[in-house]
Amino acid sequence: MSDGPVSDESVSDDPAGLPPRQSGLRNPSAAARGLGAATLGLEALVLVLAIQPIRMLGDGSVPAAMVASAVLAVGAVLLAGLLRRRWAWYAGTVLQGLVLLAGLLHWSLLVVGVLFGIVWAYVWHVRRVILS
């Protein structure tokens, strides 16, 4: 331990005098992007795998629900690769809303939309915490 003077970098503007909060990650923005990309990739996988149960259960507009599921899966994969851009995070939020809307075509897409909507909200929370 050093008994030398405290540098200006270790003192924050916080009235409590606490040091600035650090995530401890080497590259916090890459970690947030990785979490977002993993979530969107998993969502794409679930959407592709949902096509078969939609076809087998066969209630509602099956062809439209199958096409919507495939298109949303492609969108999730594309957005997972674009998370370096700030707008892609907001587009990911829009994607969650579109999956929820696809729930009007088949109830299973509504379930996927609700579950991944909750996960996406958590991803935003983690992103905010580690980047602040």
Q: Quick check: 117 pLDDT over 90?
A: yes
Q: Quick check: 11 pLDDT over 90?
A: no
Residue 69 has what pLDDT? Answer: 96
Residue 7 has what pLDDT? Answer: 47
Q: Quick check: 51 pLDDT over 50?
A: yes
> Residue 84: which of 36, 26, 129 has the closest Cα?
36
Residue 61 has what pLDDT? Answer: 80
Q: What share of the chain is helix, strand, coil (3-state, %, to 5)?
A: 70, 0, 30
The dihedral over CA atoms of 96, 79, 68, 42, expressed in degrees to the nearest 10, equals -70
Residue 131's pLDDT band, with cuts at 50, 70 and 90, is confident
Taking residues 74-80, what's their average pLDDT?
97
Kindly state the tokens that stand for 61: 């507009």
Residue 98 has what pLDDT? Answer: 97
CA 130 to chain centre: 14
CB-based contact 39:123 (threshold 8 Å): yes
Q: What is the pTM of this model?
A: 0.79
Residue 8 has what pLDDT? Answer: 46
